[in-house]
C-alpha cells in the first residue's frame, strides 16, 4: 500500500493534465489542486494505518459493510475507486452469458489494481453530440467513444468522456459505454481500463479556486471539492487484457446499470450526512444570530430536519432490504436507493434557500478573514460581526464564511449541479424509481379495493 | 373469543348513540352503519378462525410483529383496540415511579379486556374551549374532561372527548388526558376506562353515507370508513379499579405520548398501503383511458411512486431501527415514524390532485351504476364510457366511481381531514420530528466541517 | 325578458333529463335540483329588475365590462350563456375567410337567443374513446359527435358531449368540436345549436345532494353547485340555419379556442373571489378557535393571502393588457389569463389543505344542525362547540359546516375536479401559457446578456 | 451632468475603501471593480446623451414613468440613487406632522444632489447585535447607528450599516433608521446624508471576482454585479442641514417604510426581466443540446414560463392599480408589489434548479475560454462541445459559461442571497403582503357564503 507521499509522487508520471488552457507540469504542487490532493494523500495514509483489516476495497458482504459506502469516509477518490471495482465485478457477472471471459479479465484487473494501490476514475458520459440522435447517427462519429482500429494485441479508441470527477488524481480510467447500443454500433460497445498517462489521453479540468485565492475563506471547499472535466481519448491504444466488452451491443448497458447501482448507493450514503450538515449549520447560525427560538426560524429548521430524515430513511430502508447477490456481494435495495437519491437531489435547492434565509444578508457581506486581520478595519469587523457577549465576531464571521463556501460560492454552484446530474439526473432517477416499484402489486391493491376484476390485456 | 354475530349482538347494550339528531336504537341494523359494522364483525370472525396463535393483541416482541401494526390487517377497530392496549401498558411503565399501582391495574384491565374480547376506543382530544387558555383557566371548567366528584369507590367525570373514531362500535372508552397538566389542575389529570354503555355517556356521530344511498357507487367508503364523533361524559361514575391516573399532574402527558407512539406507527403502516393504492388507481385509470404511455402522465405516476416510496422508506427505517423497551415490547423508532407520518400527510393533497388530474373530468361526471342499469340510458352510458375494445364502459365506470369515492366524495374529504389531524396534526408532527432528531450531532458535523470550536454556551 | 317563475315554467318542455337512473318529470320541483334552479331563477329576476341597461349579455367594449366576467355576478347559468354567445361571435369572425356565412348565421342566432332570453350550455368535450387515436380512427366512430346523415334542411348528429355544466337548466346546447380535425374527418367538423328538448337529446346528470338530505348542513353547495353530465345526441336533427361549421376541418379548432379564451377569463374572474373566500374562512375559523395570533397559523394564512393575490394579479394584468378585437369586443390578455388559471388551479389542493389544517378535527366531527337542535344532545353540542364567551357553539358549528361543505364534502370533491379540468386541464393551461409567452424576446435577452449572436437556425 | 469619465475621476476623493483587508487607492482602476464601475460610467454617458428630457430622476407622475422603475434601465447605481431620492421625498411628507422642517431640508438636498449629479447609496440595515434585543438594550450600544455627540452645527454619529450595495461607487450615503424606535432611544432616531469621503467613514467591500480572473468566462457577472458591504461610521460629523430626523422616535420607521415601497417596486421591475432571462437561457440551451422537443424539457420550460409570468402579472397589477400620492408622486400598489416580490424570491431557487437541470453536467464541466483557445486542447474542446452542424462548440461553450456565471458561480450565490434578503426577506414580504390585503372583505365574503352574521368582537 502506498503512503500519501508515495501517492503524490506517483502523479508525476507524464500525464497530460490541463487547467485554464495550460498544461500542468506538477499537479501535486499546483496552488488550486494541492489542498485537495492532500486530502487524497491523507486517505492513503489512513488506509495504510488501518492495514489490511480495513477491507475498504473488499466487496460488501453484509449490511454493516454497506453502511460504509459513504465516499467521504476515507476520501472521495478512494470512494470512486471502490465504486469502479464493484461496477466491474457486478457487470462481469451480468454479462457472463455473452462474454464469459470478462469475469477472469476483471478479476485479474482487480487484483492488479489493489496490489498497486491504484485509484480509478469512473468514465461514462460521452460528449453525445446531438442528443436526439443515436451514436451511429451522429454527424461526427466520435461523439461517443469508439474503436477506430483493431490490432493484434488490442484496439485503438477515440472520443471523449465528460463530467469525469477526479480523473487527474487517479491512475486509471474505467471507461464504459454510456448506454445501450444498437446493431451496427458494435464499435461503440467498448469497456476497458486505460492508464491516465497513456499516450493520447488528455484531461481538461474545471475546479473552483478558493475565494480570492485565500484558503481561509473557503474552509469547506478546499477540502471537499474534486476537479471535474473532460477526458479526451485521442486515439489511445488499449491492450486486449484490459478490455471487458468489445462489440456485444446487447450488453453495453450492463456497465452503466452496474455503475448506477453502486454510485447512487454511495451518493445516497453521502447525502445523508450532507443533509445533516445543512441542519447543523442552520442551527448554529440561528444560535449565533440569537434567533433560535423565533417560531418561523424553528419551523424552517424543522423543514430541514424532515428533509434530512427522509433521505436517511431511504438509506436505512435500502440497507435493511439489501440482498445477497450471486457473486457474494451484498447489494442495497434499488427502489429505496433511487427514491432517496431523487429526494435528496430534488430537495437540495430548497434546503440551501432555507439555510440562506436563516443566515441573513451577512452570508454574503461578511468581510473576509483578511479584513478581520487588517490593522485598518479589523476592529470594526470584529465589533460589528459580534452579536452578544458569547458570540465573538470572529467566530460568527468564520461560521458565515463556511456556510457561504458551502451554499453561495462557485463551489456551492458546482456542488448543486453535481448533485443534480451525478448518477443520472433527476428525470432518470424518477424513471428508475418507477421501474423498480412494484406497479402490478399496486394495481392489484386498487382493483381489490374497488371490487373489480382486471380488464383483459 | 366472540364471533362476528356475537359482536353485533353485544352492541345492543343500551348505549346512547346519536346520528343526525336522533338516538339510534339498533346500530347494527342502521342503513348507514351496517356495512361498516359488518367489516368489524368480519374481523372478529377472522381472528376467531386464526385462533389464539394469531397473537394479534400481544405486544410486538420482534420486528416481524411490528410490521403487522397496519390497522387494516384485521379491521380498523381491532387496530384501535391494539393501540389502546399498547398505550396503557407503555404509559403504566412510564409513570411507575409516581403511581406504582397503575401497572397492576393496567395488567388486570388488559386481562379482562382480552378475555371478554372487547374493542376499545382511543378517547383523547378534549373540546378545549379557548385554545389560548389552559384547562384551569377556561370560562367553562368542563372544556377538558375532569373529576367533578370523588366517592368511596371511585370518581365522577364530566366533559367531552372530540374526534373519536368508532366509539359507537366499541365496548370501552380509554379516556386519557390530552396533554400535560399544571399544579392546581389535579382534577384534569384523570386516565381511566369507561364502558360505552355507562350511564351518562352520549356518543354523537358523523359519518358519510354512501352516495345517494346507493352502496354500489361507493365501493370504497362503505367498507373503509368509521364513524367519528363526540363522546360526552355527562357525570359518569368510574370505579377505582379502572382508574390509572388520578391527580398526578406531572404524569398527565405520559398517556398522550404513549398513544402518539403507537398510533403514529400504526398510521404510518396504513399510509404505506394507502399510497400504493393511489399509485395503483392512477395506473389503472391511465390504462383505461389509453394514456399510460403519454410522457406527462408517466411523469405524474412517477411522482406518485416517489411519494409512496418515501413513506414506505420511513416505515422500513422505523422497523429496522426499532428497539426493545424495558417491558419487553418492541418499539418502532420515533424519528422515522414521525417523519414518515409527516411526509405522508403533507403529500396527501397533492397526491389526490395528481390522481384527479390523470382521471379526467369523467371522475365526477361518470354516471351512477343506476344509470348504467337504466333501460332508458344504460346503453348510452356503456357506449360512451368505453374507450376501446378491451376497456368495457361498465368497468371504466366502476373504476372511476371507486376513485371518486376515494378522492372526491364526502368520505374523501373526511379521510383527508382525518389524515391531517389524526395522531396530532402536521405542525405537531414536525415538532416531534425535530425533537427526536439528533441536533447536537448535526451541529458537531457542521463545526468540524467549518474547522471551528463550539462557542461557549 | 323572462321572470324567474317564467324560467322555471319554461323547463317543462318535455326535455329528457335523467338522474340516478330515473327520468325526471319536473326538474324544477326535484329535491336535489330545486335549490340551485332557484338561484338561476333569481338571476332572471335580477336581470329583469336591472332592465336593458344591465347590458349583461352585450360583448364587453371596455375594461370595466371585462371585470364583470365573473360568472357568479348574476348566476352561473347566465355566465355560461354569456360565454357561449361570445364564443360564437368570436369564432364566426375567426372562420370568416373559410365560411363567410357563419357571421350572419351567428348574428341571427344571437338575436333570437337574446330575444327569447334563453340560457345556453357549452357542449364541447367529446367522449373521445381511445385517447391515443384520432376521431376518424376510433373503433366506435361515434366517440366524437358527428354528422351521420345529411338532409335537405339540415343534418343529423350522433355522439355524446361529456362533463357539461348545467345542460338540464338551459334551453340550448352550443355544440362545437373539441379540437382540430384532419382531412377525412369532415363529418366531425360540426358546430351548431340544438334545443335541449330536441328529439334524441338525453341528459344524464350528476350532482352532489346536500349532506344527509339536510340543506342546512350544506349552506354553500346548495346554492353554488351546478349539475354536470353527459349530453347524448342520439340521432338529432339540426336545421341548416343553426349550423355554424360543417365540414371545414381546418377551422374546427377555432370554436374551442374561442371558448377557451372566454371561459378561462371567466374562470379566472371567479377564482379571484373564491381564493379570497378561502382566506376569509381561514381567518374566521382561526378567530373562532382563539388561535389567530399563533405564529404558525398566521404564517399559513399569509401563504393563502399570497396565493389569492397572485391569482388576482393575473386577472388585473389580463384586464390591464386587454386589447380591442376586430369585432369591437374587448379581449382579455391570453398570457396572463392562462397563467392565472393555471396558478389558481395548481394551488387549489394546497389551499384547501391549509384551510383544513387550520380548522382542526372539528371540521369533520362537528355535529349536524339536527344534532344542535336535538332535545337529547343539543345542549352538549352547543356547550362543547363553544370556545369562549364571544364564540357561541352554534355559530362555530355553522361556520365549520360551511367550510366542510366547501372543502371536505362531495361538493368539495366535485369542485376540486371541476377546477382541475374546466377550461382544459393543468397540462393544457401550461401549454397555452408557454404558447402565448414571448419566447423569442426571452431568447434575445439571454443572448444579449451572454454577449452572443444567435446561432444559425 | 457628469460624463462617465468625470464620474470615474470623482471617485478619487480620498474615500476609505477596503477590499480583502487592503485599502484601495484607485478604485476605478482596480481589476475587480473596473468593469462594473465602467457600467456606472456608461450610465452617466447615457443620461447625458438623453439630456434633461430623460427626466430619469424626476418622481414618477404617471403609470408610464412607473414602468421605468427597473434599475437596470440605466445602471444599478442610477437606480439606487433614484430610489434614495424618492425615499427621502416620501418620508419627508409622511413625517411632516412631527418634523415640518424635514420637507424643505429634503427639497434642498434633492436639488443639490441633482445639480451635482451625485449617486446615492441606501444605508439602512444596522449590525443589530443580539437580534432578540432592542437597540437600547444591546450590550454594545453601537449596534445601531446613533448620535454620540451633539454640537452646535450638527451631530456626531457612530455605528455600522451592513449589506450596503455599491456604497464605494456612490458620492453620498443616505443613512436612515432600520426600524421603529422606542422612547429612550432618541439617539437612534437619526436620518441624514453623509458624503462617502467624510472623515470616519470606512467601506469594507465584498464582491465576486471573475472566475479565475478571466473576464471572458464571466460575461454576466462582470457587468451586472455590484460590491456589497459594511459602511462603518466611526464618529462622523453630520452638519445640521443634512439631518432629516433627529430624535422623533415615533417617526423612525417612516424612512424604512418609504424605502421599502420604492425598493420593492424596483426589485419587482428588475425581477420580471430576470425571470424572462432565465426562460431565454433555458430555451437556448435546450436548443443547443437538441432537446427542445423532448416532453419533459418542454414541461420544465413551461414551469419557468408560468413563474416568470406570475412575477410580471404582479408588476402589471401594481402599475394598473397605482395611485397618485399627496405629493404628486405616482405610487405603485403595495399589495401586488409585495406579493410579486415574494413570489419571485421564493421561486428563485427552484427556477435555477430547473435551468441547471436542463443544461446537463456541461454546465460545470465546460472548459474555459482559455482552454478553447489553447493550442494543445482547443481542437478537442470545440469538437466535443459541439452537438450538430448548426451548433458550434464555441457558441455552446460560451452559452454554458454565461449560464454558469448566472446560476452556479460565486456571483450566482451572491445574487440568490441578495434576492432573498434585499427589500426585507421572505418572511417580511409575506407579513407585509398580509398586512396590505383586505382581510375584512375576505371575512365578509365568507360570512355571506355561509349565511352567518359576524360574531361579536
Give a yes or no: residue B44 inside a domain. yes
The shortest C-alpha distance from A53 to chain B (Å) reads: 27
Q: Could you tell me how many residues make up chain B?
A: 457
Clarify whether residues C226 and C92 are in a common domain.
Answer: yes
Tell me what the mean pLDDT of segment A410-438 comes to: 92
The fraction of chain D above a pLDDT of 70, given in percent, is 99
CB-based contacts of B445: which residues, under 8 Å, 6+ apart?
A: A273, A276, A277, A280
Domain membership of residue C455 (yes or no) is no
- Using a CB-CB cut-off of 8 Å, the residues of chain C touching B127 are 384-385
Write the DSSP symbol of residue A153.
Answer: S
Q: CA dist C259 to B12, C80, C81, C134, C422, Å?
A: 60, 10, 12, 21, 11
Helix C252-289 to helix C76-94 angle (10° resolution) is: 150
CA dist list (Å): D85 to B76, D56, D92, D248: 68, 11, 11, 21
Q: Do C445 and D308 touch (CB under 8 A)?
A: no
The span from the CA of B68 to the CA of B244, in Å, is: 28
Q: What is residue D68's predicted lDDT score, i.e. its pLDDT? A: 81
Same domain, B212 and B267: no
Q: Are residues A339 and A433 in the same domain?
A: yes
Distances (CA, A) of A179 to A134, A189, A250, A254, A258: 10, 9, 10, 8, 11
* Per-residue model confidence (pLDDT) at position A423: 79
Residue B35 CB contacts under 8 Å (≥ 6 apart), including other chains: B210, B215, B222, B223
Look at residue D77 and tell me whether its pLDDT is greater than 70. yes
pLDDT recorded at residue C72: 65
* D48-69: average pLDDT: 88
Residue C388 contacts D, CB cutoff 8 Å: no
The predicted pLDDT at position B67 comes to 86
What secondary structure letter does DSSP report for D158? E
Give the domain CATH number at D412: 1.20.140.10
Q: What is the pLDDT at residue D284?
A: 97
Backbone torsion region of residue C425, taken as left when φ is above 0, otherwise alpha when ψ lies between -120 and 50, otherwise beta: left
Q: Give chains near D: 3+ CB pairs under 8 A.
A: A, B, C
D207 in reach of chain A (CB within 8 A): no
Q: Are A145 and A233 in contact (CB under 8 A)?
A: yes
Phi, psi dihedrals of residue C269, rounded to the nearest 5°: -60, -45
Q: What CATH number is attached to the domain comprising D96?
A: 2.40.110.10
H helix or E strand, kind and range, residue A172: strand A172-175
- Give dist(CA A231, CA A163) in Å, integer: 8
- pLDDT-based confidence at B457, cuts 50/70/90? low
Interface test with C, best of D306, D345, D392 (most C CBs within 10 A): D306
Instruction: Determine, for residues C364 and B407 on separate chains, whether the beta-carbon distance falls below 8 Å.
Output: no
More confident of the two residues C220 and D257: D257
Residues C108, C111, C115, C121, CA torsion sign = positive
Place of cell 450600544: D141
**Which three three-digit cell numbers place residue C294?**
399563533
Widest CA span of chain D, in angstroms? 83
- In this prediction, residue A13 has a pLDDT band, given cuts at 50, 70 and 90, of very high
The pLDDT confidence band at residue A387, using thresholds 50, 70 and 90, is confident
Scored b (16 or more CB within 10 A) or e, A303-312 reads bbbbbbbbbb
Grid cell in block for residue D66: 412607473
Q: Rounded distance, CA C431 to CA A189, Å?
A: 39
Lay out the sheet containing A172-175: strands in order across.
A120-123, A172-175, A190-195, A243-246
Residue D211's pLDDT is: 78
The predicted pLDDT at position A4 comes to: 97
Q: Which residue has the higher pLDDT, A52 or A79?
A: A79
DSSP secondary structure string for all residues of D231-242 = EEEEEEEEEGGG
Percent of chain D with pLDDT over 90: 83
Number of A to D CB contacts under 8 A, please give it.
250
Q: Is residue D448 within 8 Å of A381, Cβ to Cβ?
A: no
List, for residues D88-143, the tens digit of each pLDDT value. Answer: 999 999 999 999 999 999 999 999 999 999 999 999 999 999 888 999 999 999 99
Separation between Cα atoms, residue D249 and residue D150, nearest integer Å: 17
B185/B316 same-domain check: no
Asked if the model's pLDDT at residue A126 lies above 80, the reply is: yes
Distances (CA, A) of D214 to D370, D401, D405: 8, 12, 12
Tell me the nearest-neighbour CA distance from B62 into chain C, angstroms: 34
Beta-bridged to residue C324, according to DSSP, are C330
The pLDDT mean for chain A works out to 93
- A405 touches D243 (CB < 8 A): no
Q: Is residue C450 part of a domain?
A: no
Task: Give per-residue burial for A78-116: e unless 16+ CB within 10 Å, then b.
Answer: bbbbbbbbbbbbbbbbbbeeebeebbebbeebbeebeee
pLDDT in tens, D371-425: 999 999 999 999 999 988 778 899 999 999 999 999 999 999 999 999 999 878 8
Q: Are residues D97 and D206 in the same domain?
A: yes
Beta bridge partners of A161: A126, A231
Whole-angstrom distance, CA of residue C195 vs CA of residue D333:
48
Cell reading at B57: 393483541
Which of D133, A398, A221 is CA-nearest to residue B454? Answer: A398
Q: What is the dihedral of CA D345, B303, C340, C95, to 10 degrees?
A: 140
Q: What is the pLDDT of residues A74-115, one digit of tens each?
A: 889 999 999 999 999 999 999 999 999 999 999 999 999 999
Contact B176, B124 (CB under 8 A): yes
As beta bridge partners, residue B160 has: B232
For strands B243-246 and B228-239, give the pairing. Answer: unpaired
Question: Is B455 inside any structural domain?
Answer: no
pLDDT of residue D38: 94
Tell me the residue length of chain D: 457
- Closest Cα of chain D to B348: distance in Å? 22
Q: Taking the CA atoms of chain D, what radius of gyration do you get in angstroms?
A: 24
Contacting chains of C (3 CB pairs or more, <8 Å) are: A, B, D
Q: Give the model confidence (pLDDT) of B222-237 as tens digits.
A: 888 899 989 999 999 9
**Chain C residues inside the 8 Å CB shell of B232:** 377, 380, 384
B-chain residues near C380 (CB < 8 A): 160, 202, 204, 230, 232, 234
Is C309 part of any domain?
Answer: yes
Judge contact between C282 and C300, C-beta under 8 A.
Answer: yes
Split at pLDDT 50, 70, 90, the class of A379 is very high
Kindly indicate whether the ipTM for this predicted assembly is greater than 0.90, answering yes or no. Answer: yes
Q: pLDDT tens string for chain C (457 positions)? A: 899 999 999 999 999 999 999 999 999 999 889 989 999 999 999 999 988 777 889 999 999 888 887 766 788 999 999 999 999 999 999 999 999 999 999 999 999 999 999 999 999 999 999 888 999 999 999 999 999 999 999 999 999 999 999 999 999 999 999 999 999 999 999 999 999 999 999 999 998 877 777 888 888 888 788 999 899 999 999 999 999 999 999 999 999 999 998 999 999 999 999 999 999 999 999 999 999 999 999 999 999 999 999 999 999 999 999 999 877 899 999 999 999 999 999 999 999 999 999 999 999 999 999 999 999 999 999 999 998 877 889 999 999 999 999 999 999 999 999 999 987 889 999 999 999 999 999 999 999 999 999 887 6
Q: Same structural domain for residues C173 and C265? A: no
Confidence band for D221, pLDDT divided at 50, 70 and 90: confident
The whole-number pLDDT of residue D350 equals: 97
Give the pLDDT confidence score for residue D387 in this predicted structure: 86
Identify the domain boundary among A206, A224, A247: A247
Whether pLDDT at B286 is above 70: yes
Looking at the fold, whether C244 and C389 belong to one and the same domain comes out as no
Grid coordinates standing for B51? 385462533
Question: Do A242 and A318 sit in the same domain of this protein?
Answer: no
Residues D278 and D300: their CA atoms lie apart, in Å, by: 12
Query: In sequence order, what are the residues at sequence separation of 6 or more whose Cβ sits closer than 8 angstroms to the Cβ of residue C335?
Result: C321, C433, C436, C437, D309
Q: Would you call A433 and B317 a contact, using CB atoms and an 8 Å cutoff?
A: no
Is D64 a domain residue? yes
- Claim to verify: residue A323 and residue A366 sit in the same structural domain: yes
Rounded to the nearest angstrom, the minimum Cα separation between B281 and chain A is: 5
Angle of helix A425-436 relative to helix B295-320, nearest 10 degrees? Answer: 70
Residues 278-297 of B with CB under 8 A from D: 295-296
Partners of residue D130 in chain B, C-beta under 8 Å: none
Given this model, what pLDDT does residue B115 score?
95
pLDDT value of residue C71 = 67
* Interatomic CA distance for residues A309 and A312, integer angstroms: 5
Determine, yes or no, domain membership for C371: yes
Does the CB of B414 have a partner CB in chain C at under 8 Å? yes
Whole-number Å distance between alpha carbons of D174 and C451: 35
Q: With contacts defined as CB-CB under 8 Å, which chain C residues touch D306?
A: 339, 342-343, 430, 433
Domain that holds residue C405: 255-444
Residue D183 has pLDDT above 70, yes or no: yes
Q: Are B323 and B333 in contact (CB under 8 A)?
A: yes
- Dist. CA C36–CA C224, nearest whole Å: 7
C39, C70, C305: best mutation site toward chain D, by most D Cβ within 10 Å? C305
Q: How many angstroms separate the CA atoms of A291 and A360, rounded?
A: 11
Please choose, from the candidates B367, B404, B389, B392, the residue with its C-alpha nearest in 3D space to the C-alpha of residue C232: B367
Closest CA to B33 of B25, A130, A119: B25
Establish if D323 belongs to a structural domain.
yes
Sheet holding C120-123, edge to edge: C120-123, C172-175, C190-195, C243-246
> Are D34 and D59 within one domain?
yes
Nearest one of B374, B391, B323 to C203, comparing CA atoms: B374
| Over residues D211-240, mean pLDDT | 89
Question: Residue B389: what pLDDT?
Answer: 74
Residue D72: its pLDDT value, please?
Answer: 65
Same structural domain, D352 and D212: no
Crossing angle (nearest 10°) for helices A334-359 and A425-436 = 140
- The number of domains in chain A is 2
Q: What is the pLDDT of residues B14-46, one digit of tens each?
A: 999 999 999 999 999 998 899 899 999 999 999
Q: Which of C248, C275, C293 is the last residue of a domain?
A: C248
Give the residue from B248, B266, B294 where a domain finishes.
B248
Q: What is the pLDDT of residues A226-270, one digit of tens each?
A: 999 899 999 999 999 999 999 999 999 999 999 998 999 999 999
| C-alpha dihedral, A134 to A135 to A138 to A141, nearest 10° | -170
How does DSSP classify residue D377?
A: T
- A403 and A330 housed in the same domain: yes
**C347 touching D, CB under 8 A?**
no
Amino acid at each position: 500500500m502506498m503512503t500519501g507521499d508515495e501517492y503524490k509522487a506517483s502523479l508525476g508520471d507524464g500525464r497530460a493534465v490541463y487547467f485554464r488552457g495550460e498544461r500542468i507540469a506538477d499537479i501535486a504542487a499546483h496552488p488550486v489542486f494541492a489542498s485537495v490532493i492532500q486530502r487524497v494523500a491523507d486517505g492513503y495514509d489512513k488506509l495504510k494505518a488501518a492495514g489490511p483489516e480495513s477491507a475498504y476495497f473488499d466487496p460488501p458482504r453484509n449490511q454493516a459493510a454497506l453502511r460504509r459506502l459513504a465516499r467521504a469516509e476515507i476520501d472521495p477518490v478512494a470512494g470512486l475507486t471502490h465504486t469502479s471495482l464493484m461496477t466491474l465485478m457486478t457487470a462481469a457477472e451480468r454479462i457472463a452469458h455473452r462474454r464469459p471471459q470478462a469475469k477472469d479479465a476483471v478479476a485479474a484487473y482487480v487484483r492488479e489494481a489493489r496490489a498497486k494501490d491504484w485509484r480509478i476514475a469512473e468514465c461514462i458520459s460521452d460528449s453525445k453530440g446531438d442528443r436526439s440522435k443515436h451514436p451511429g447517427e451522429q454527424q461526427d462519429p466520435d461523439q461517443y467513444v469508439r474503436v477506430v482500429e483493431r490490432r493484434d494485441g488490442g484496439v485503438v479508441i477515440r472520443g471523449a468522456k465528460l463530467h469525469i470527477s477526479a480523473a487527474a488524481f487517479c491512475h486509471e480510467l474505467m471507461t464504459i459505454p454510456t448506454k445501450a447500443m444498437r446493431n451496427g454500433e458494435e464499435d461503440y460497445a467498448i469497456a476497458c481500463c486505460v492508464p491516465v498517462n497513456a499516450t493520447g489521453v488528455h484531461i481538461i479540468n474545471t475546479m473552483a479556486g478558493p475565494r480570492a485565492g485565500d484558503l481561509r475563506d473557503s474552509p469547506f471547499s478546499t477540502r471537499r471539492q474534486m476537479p471535474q472535466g473532460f477526458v479526451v481519448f485521442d486515439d489511445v491504444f488499449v491492450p486486449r487484457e484490459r478490455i471487458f466488452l468489445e462489440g456485444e451491443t446487447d450488453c453495453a448497458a450492463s456497465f452503466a446499470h452496474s455503475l448506477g447501482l453502486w454510485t447512487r448507493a454511495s451518493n445516497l450514503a453521502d447525502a445523508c450526512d450532507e443533509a445533516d450538515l445543512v441542519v447543523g449549520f442552520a442551527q448554529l447560525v440561528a444560535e449565533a444570530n440569537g434567533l433560535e427560538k423565533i417560531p418561523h426560524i424553528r419551523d424552517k429548521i424543522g423543514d430541514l430536519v424532515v428533509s434530512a430524515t427522509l433521505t436517511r430513511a431511504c438509506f436505512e430502508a435500502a440497507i435493511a432490504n439489501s440482498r445477497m447477490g450471486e457473486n457474494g456481494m451484498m447489494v442495497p435495495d434499488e427502489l429505496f436507493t433511487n427514491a432517496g437519491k431523487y429526494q435528496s437531489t430534488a430537495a437540495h435547492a430548497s434546503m440551501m434557500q432555507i439555510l440562506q434565509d436563516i443566515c441573513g444578508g451577512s452570508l454574503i457581506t461578511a468581510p473576509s478573514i483578511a479584513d478581520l486581520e487588517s490593522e485598518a478595519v479589523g476592529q470594526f469587523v470584529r465589533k460589528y460581526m459580534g452579536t452578544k457577549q458569547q458570540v465573538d465576531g470572529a467566530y460568527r464571521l468564520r461560521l458565515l464564511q463556511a456556510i457561504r463556501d458551502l451554499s453561495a460560492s462557485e463551489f456551492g454552484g458546482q456542488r448543486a449541479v453535481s448533485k443534480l446530474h451525478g448518477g443520472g439526473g433527476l428525470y432518470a432517477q424518477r424513471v428508475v424509481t418507477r421501474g423498480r416499484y412494484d406497479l402490478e402489486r399496486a394495481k392489484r391493491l386498487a382493483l381489490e379495493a374497488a371490487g373489480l376484476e382486471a380488464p383483459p390485456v
